[in-house]
């Protein structure tokens, strides 16, 4: 955990200047005991293996596709904080941080914590390499996270399938498209549940319109949540005007 303390006055002045509103107006917004909890995701570039799995699995196009030269990158304005990318990354290169700001007297105390992520399972099904087109350049070896590939440049390549995890990094970085990998992706364990109270619901359709994966629809005179489709991003819960939707953490037995 990282703790940062800053004088309220300096923060208010900075916000006031950047937003072009009065100091007093900003101060009114900070009169509560607690400020909202904020979640952020970031890619640890030195760990990224260019497997593209985060890019492929992101449901809202919030990942910039990686290349041999550049790691994956999160697009903040698109991200809905569903954590699917972090749960999918086979090498834990995507971190989830949660910050909470608390107002105490004339000081804002900001706490930053790393959120534990339950990773989905990835299993190799088949690994094929076309020896005729392979140029033994060694790029696949560079990005293999389990050292399953050994290359003697321009001479030979060896794949140890007992070490291969099926991440597809070698396939994605191969300049000659000589490698094909078939894997099996496990289900994502969100450890959350969603509940829509139709007694409270006023059928305003806000949740349906704002859901990034169309998991909420109007059927037979009421709003319905498709739980298998839901990514638990919380946008519906935050924007429901009558608090008819709740998302809760599921306790492990």
3-state secondary structure of 234: coil
Quick one: pLDDT at residue 30?
57
- Beta-sheet strands, E only, within the chain: 2-7, 34-43, 63-64, 73-74, 94-104, 107-114, 122-129, 149-152, 156-159, 179-185, 192-196, 216-219, 222-225, 245-249
Q: Which CATH class is domain 122-185?
A: alpha beta
28-49 tens-digit pLDDT = 655 554 455 678 899 999 999 9
Question: What's residue 2's pLDDT?
Answer: 58
Query: What local confidence, expressed as pLDDT, does residue 6 receive?
Result: 65
Give the residue extent of every domain in the chain.
2-114, 122-185, 192-249
Fold (CATH) for 192-249: Alpha-Beta Plaits (3.30.70)
Query: Whole-model pTM?
Result: 0.80
Domain range 2-114, CATH architecture: 2-Layer Sandwich (3.30)
Q: What is the pLDDT of residue 213?
A: 96
Name residues of the chain where pLDDT drops below 50.
33-34
CA-CA distance, 133 to 243, in Å (whole number)? 59
pLDDT at 34: 46
Per-residue pLDDT, 33: 42
Domain 2-114 matches domain 122-185 at the CATH topology level = yes
């Amino acid at each position: 955990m990282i703790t940062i303390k800053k004088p309220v006055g300096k923060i208010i002045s900075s916000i006031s200047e950047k937003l072009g509103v009065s100091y007093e107006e900003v101060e009114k917004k900070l009169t509560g005991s607690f400020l909202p909890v904020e979640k952020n995701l970031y890619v640890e570039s030195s760990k990224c293996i260019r497997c593209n799995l985060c890019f492929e699995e992101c449901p809202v196009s919030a990942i910039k596709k990686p290349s041999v030269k550049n790691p994956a990158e999160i697009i903040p304005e698109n991200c809905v904080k569903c954590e699917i990318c972090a749960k999918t990354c086979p090498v834990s290169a995507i971190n989830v941080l949660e910050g909470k700001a608390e107002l105490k007297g004339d000081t804002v105390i900001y706490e930053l914590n790393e959120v534990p992520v339950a990773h989905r399972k990835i299993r190799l099904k088949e690994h094929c390499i076309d020896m005729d087109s392979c140029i033994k350049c060694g790029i696949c070896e560079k990005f293999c996270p389990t050292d399953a590939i050994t290359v003697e440049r321009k001479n030979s390549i060896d794949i140890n399938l007992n070490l291969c995890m099926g991440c597809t990094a070698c396939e994605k970085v191969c300049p000659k498209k000589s490698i094909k990998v078939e894997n099996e992706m496990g289900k994502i364990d969100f450890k959350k549940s969603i509940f829509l109270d139709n007694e409270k619901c006023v059928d305003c359709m806000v949740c349906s319109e704002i859901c990034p994966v169309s998991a909420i629809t109007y059927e037979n005179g009421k709003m319905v949540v498709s739980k298998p489709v839901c990514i638990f991003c919380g946008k519906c819960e935050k924007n429901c005007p009558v608090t008819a939707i709740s998302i809760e953490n599921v306790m492990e037995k």
